[in-house]
Amino acid sequence: MERGGYEYGAAALVLQAMLLSGCDSEPATPALVAVNEAAPAPTTPVPVAGEERLVLAFGDSLYAGYGLQRGQSLPDAVQARLRAQGINAKIVNAGVSGDTSAAGRQRLAFSLNNLPRTPDLVLLGLGGNDVLRQISPAETRANMGAMLAELQKRGIPVMLTGMVAPPNLGPDFAKAFNSIWPDLAAQYDAALYPFILDGVISNPALMQRDHVHPTAQGVARIADRVAPLVAKQLTED
């Protein structure tokens, strides 16, 4: 997601609606940046062992770490937690602020082809900018489905981090939009974390001033919940 012009104004309305309802439950040139392995872990680390597990974090500004210092993004935080558990994980951050699902669909193959090898897992987190721009849920579904089909064709496991629509967009829009992630997760046998900002968006202390992006503390809260799911995916072989 991005701050500026229409997107920021819409974002404020979206997040206000989410908060009131009690919900708690232009694309840049893509760059593949290895996550800072020195990111602090929340527990006493154990020795990292085993074959390296490569993860691609593919999403928008919620992955890119908008408004945060280097090393504070969600992929950084998840990697730190995995390595603290002794999992030899390397997460490549391919988050691009402002990306819609359509933009992600256009660059997915490029991102995969420019990795040193096929990743062991892809974290897929797009859709926030779609709802801010009120893009048709049918279009979002088609784009997300196309990305999942591409990953399935390449034999790459996926974990989705989902998004939800605010009630002020109406029940029909919300029903069509919110069902995208559970439906596609079931169809493509992907792991699912239903709402990436769950437990964070309703707490102003965990959100930046724009009310759209989490603070470093908010990212840590998300990572505490997401990292165990990622660990399960990487150790299920």
Amino acid at 91: I
Q: What is the model's pLDDT at position 24?
A: 38
Report CA-CA distances (Å) from 182 to 74, 185, 189. Answer: 22, 5, 10
Q: Three-state SS for 144? A: helix
Domain count, the chain: 1
Please, what is the end-to-end C-alpha distance for the chain in angstroms? Answer: 34
How big, in percent rounded to 5, are the helix, strand and coil portions of the chain? 45, 15, 40
Query: Residue 211 maps to which CATH number?
Result: 3.40.50.1110
pLDDT in tens, 71-120: 999 999 999 999 999 999 999 999 999 999 999 999 999 999 999 999 99
- Sign of the alpha-carbon dihedral angle for 117, 123, 124, 129: negative
Active site residues: 61, 210, 213
Query: What residues in the chain have per-residue pLDDT under 70?
Result: 1-45, 237
Q: What are phi and psi of 135, to 5 degrees?
A: -70, 145
Whole-model pTM: value is: 0.85
Distance CA 223, CA 71 (A): 13
- Residue among 147, 158, 138, 152 at smallest CA distance from 110: 147
Residues spanned by the domain of 101: 5-234
> Are the C-beta atoms of residues 95 and 64 closer than 8 Å to each other?
yes
